[in-house]
Structures are given as C-alpha cells and as structure tokens.
Amino acid sequence: MFSSKIFPFDYGQHDLANGLRLLTVPTGIPHIVSLQIVVQAGSRNETEAGKSGFAHLFEHMMFRGTKRYSPDMYDAVLKNAGAAQNAYTDDDLTCYHTTFTKEDLPGVLEIEADRFQNLDYPEEVFRTESRAVLAEYNKDSAEPFNSLHEKLRATAFRLHPYRHTTMGFLEDIERMPELYEYSKLFHGRYYRPEYTTLILAGDVDPSDAPRMIEDLWGDWKRGEFVDAIPQEPPLGGPLETRVDWNSPTLPLLNIAFRGPAYSDENHDAAAMDLISYLYFSETSALYQKLVLEDQSCDVFAGFNADHVDPYLYVVTARVKDGRTVESVNQRVLESVSRLREDSVDHSKLEKVKKHLRYGMAMRMKETEATASLLARYVALRRNVETMNRLFAQYEALTADDIRAVAQKYFRDENRVTVELRSKAA
C-alpha cells in the first residue's frame, strides 16, 4: 500500500570510538537547530531496592554546574543565544533538549559537552535537589490519575523496575538526601557515551557536525557497567485493587493487560497500536457508546506505550456516576472479548493504517517536533530506521494478525484492574 519510508529526511549517523552516537538530520528549515541528548537511563534502570527515582533526580542534577561553568554561567550562555531548553525523564530514557539558532551551535555543544563529562555537585546541592524531588512527588500525588497509575504499576509488576513510576517510591524519595555517595555511583554508571545519543536536527551539515562532536565529546571515557534487568514472571491474574481518595472526585478505572515490548522485528506491539484505534479511540464503537450515547464517561481511551521491556496495554475511564463503574468495566471486557474473536473489516483496517501514517507525518512538520519524536525511538533502538521498520509492520498487518495478537495478550490471567474512588462516595 505504501512504498515510501515514514521518516522523510536524509540523515547521517556517526559513531565515536567511545560509543557515543551522533544522528544528524537536516530538515530543510533554515536557521533553527534542535539538539536532543538522549541518555538511555530511566526508571527501568533503577534495579536496586530502596534506590528508585535516581534517573529523574539527575534530570535536576544535570543543571547544577561544573567547575568551568556554574549554573548561572550556563544559563547566561543559553539566554544570550535565545535558546529554549528543558528536560524530561521517562521509563526508558532521560532527554535533554535545546532549540536555538544555527550560529550558536558551537557554543551550545561546548557547554553541553562540559556538563555531561564534568558534572560537579557538592553534597549540600544534592540534598537540596533531592528535597525538591520530594516536593514534586507530593504535588503530583495530589492528582488522582497519577495515584491510579502508580497503584496500577505496583500491582502489575513484582520484580521489574517498571513497578515504580519515574518519580520513584515515596519511601525511597524520602531517603534520597542521605544517598549522596550512591548518586555519584549512579551517575558514573549511566552518564557514559555508550548510553548516550546526540540528535542534531534542523539547519545542520551532516559532513561537518561529526568533526565538532569528535573535538568536544571524543575524550569522554566509556564506562564498564552493564545492566541486569530482572525478568518479570507471569502475572497469574486477574488482579483487582482499589485506591481510596480522600477528597471528592469522579471514579477512575484502569483495566490493563500485560503487553509486549516494543519491537521493529516482531509485529505484536505494532498490532497493539492498531487495536487502540480500532477498539478504544474516539472513533471506536465503545467510545461512541460510553462517552457520546450513554454519557457515562467523560474520559475514555486505550493506549499502548512503547517500552524497551514488556509493559502494559491500559484502558482508562473516568466515570460520571459511581453506580455505573461496574457497567463500564463490563462493557470494556465485552469489547475485549469481541476483539479476540472478530475479524476486522479490511477497509477499516486500511483506513486506520492511513490515519497512523498521516498522524506521524504531521508530527514532523517542524524541526523541534521532529527531533523530539526521534528521541523517543532512539531511546528504544538507538537508530532512525526503527521508525521505518515499525511502519512497514503496520502496512503488513492483517485482520488475522490483529486477532492472534489480541488472543495472545488480552486474556483474563493477564489482566489488572484498578479503581479509584472518593472515600466519601
């Protein structure tokens, strides 16, 4: 059906001897450059008991300066460049992103190379930032959806570090100020060139960028640490649990199934993406029934979040009346039962494939958006071609494939249900 690749840009890939990878993507948009620095360290890498939350902590710590550039000096360089900068941490990565004009590329690369290779922070600063993380956790935990998600993961996983959210367990965050020495160990393990990929997108020269990176990043020493991520045993479900909320709120419902890891070779994860649109999106029959016709829910969606290791397919609903929670739950399970048995209409399946392709193309209209999107896939496979291989999988999927994947994962023994309700209710 489709002959062209989904990623529309030519690109360069340059691997340094120390393991650092550079991806250069000229987008044809003049003057603007977006730098994404992807570190393959997220909550997935927090395997030691009592030490969750450190990947997210370093999203904070990396802005605390070096001997050469204090935080104020670092900020001044970016301010003079008119740069837009931020960072985020997720389950499989931490990403630092900066967008600026082409003329400021050498200066931005220099200060970034310095902080990644020479981060320096005293114990007092570490304690301050770890207490800031606790404040952030407390703020986030005041949101019912966050608490629902936290409970879901703690129920669905026993051994794998996906058991805790990116923020980490509360008891670990409270102990964090006392773990200064461990913070140095964590940083030394993961902030290494072999775990880091630089994405330069925009008005960049693929032939010139490698020279600048070699000059500034080539002396960064490779590490020796190799992760040992525990393998999660079968769920042995179905499992059900509840969160009691102290203040008034509408009931929330998560119905989740253990799902596949991201893969650009096995089509299971790609099939899950198509299932989301076919059965749980705004155009699905179930959404039309629950949200538009019955008006029993004001939030309803199903989604498959790509992860390095097997994760969860999650259906989320916010129910307007607590008396209809069980009815909503039952309708979701009925829909799951149908998707295990139904044969999707061919024309409908092809329409969803076109929708996915169009949606992805629209996300790459601007330089920063393109670089940001690519960063997510780099965290999973550390290359550009994984996007093209994924969409080739979409193209090849049949109705029989969809049904077979549904039968494989959407099983009762694979299900976790978490409900959040106000105590007053």
CATH of the domain at 144: 3.30.830.10
- DSSP letter string over 293-334? IS--EEEEEEEE---SS--EEEEEEEES-GGGHHHHHHHHHH
Based on the fold, state whether residues 132 and 281 are members of the same structural domain.
no
On whether residue 30 sits in a domain, the answer given is: yes
Which residues are within 8 A (CB) of 199 and not within 5 positions of it... i.e. 6 or more apart? 23, 25, 34, 35, 36, 37, 38, 371, 374, 375, 378
Based on the fold, state whether residues 390 and 303 are members of the same structural domain.
yes
On whether residue 196 sits in a domain, the answer given is: yes
Based on the fold, state whether residues 199 and 261 are members of the same structural domain.
no
On whether residue 233 sits in a domain, the answer given is: no
Closest C-alpha among 208, 222, 218 to residue 106: 208
Domain boundary among 217, 251, 286: 217
On whether residue 224 sits in a domain, the answer given is: no
Q: How confident is the model at residue 2 (pLDDT cuts 50, 70, 90)?
A: low
Tens of pLDDT, residue by residue over 338-360, are: 999 988 999 999 999 999 999 99
Which residues are within 8 A (CB) of 28 and not within 5 positions of it... i.e. 6 or more apart? 9
Q: Calculate mean pLDDT across residues 25-49.
A: 96
Based on the fold, state whether residues 180 and 259 are members of the same structural domain.
no
On whether residue 232 sits in a domain, the answer given is: no
CA distance 170 to 180: 18
Based on the fold, state whether residues 196 and 288 are members of the same structural domain.
no
76: domain range?
A: 12-217
Closest C-alpha among 109, 115, 118, 120 to residue 216: 109
Question: Which residue type, as a one-letter code, is found at position 184?
Answer: K
For the chain, what is the domain count?
Answer: 2
On whether residue 246 sits in a domain, the answer given is: yes
Instruction: Kindly tell me if the per-residue pLDDT of 394 is higher than 70.
Output: yes
CA distance 167 to 147: 12
Based on the fold, state whether residues 45 and 97 are members of the same structural domain.
yes
Per-residue pLDDT at 237:
83
Based on the fold, state whether residues 26 and 175 are members of the same structural domain.
yes
Tens of pLDDT, residue by residue over 95-132, are: 999 999 999 999 999 999 999 999 999 999 999 999 99
CA 170 to chain centre: 21
CA distance 360 to 354: 10
Based on the fold, state whether residues 328 and 243 are members of the same structural domain.
yes
On whether residue 163 sits in a domain, the answer given is: yes
CA distance 94 to 43: 9
On whether residue 7 sits in a domain, the answer given is: no
Q: How confident is the model at residue 152 (pLDDT cuts 50, 70, 90)?
A: very high
Domain boundary among 217, 248, 283: 217
Instruction: Kindly tell me if the per-residue pLDDT of 315 is higher than 90.
Output: yes
Based on the fold, state whether residues 248 and 190 are members of the same structural domain.
no
Based on the fold, state whether residues 179 and 250 are members of the same structural domain.
no
Based on the fold, state whether residues 34 and 176 are members of the same structural domain.
yes
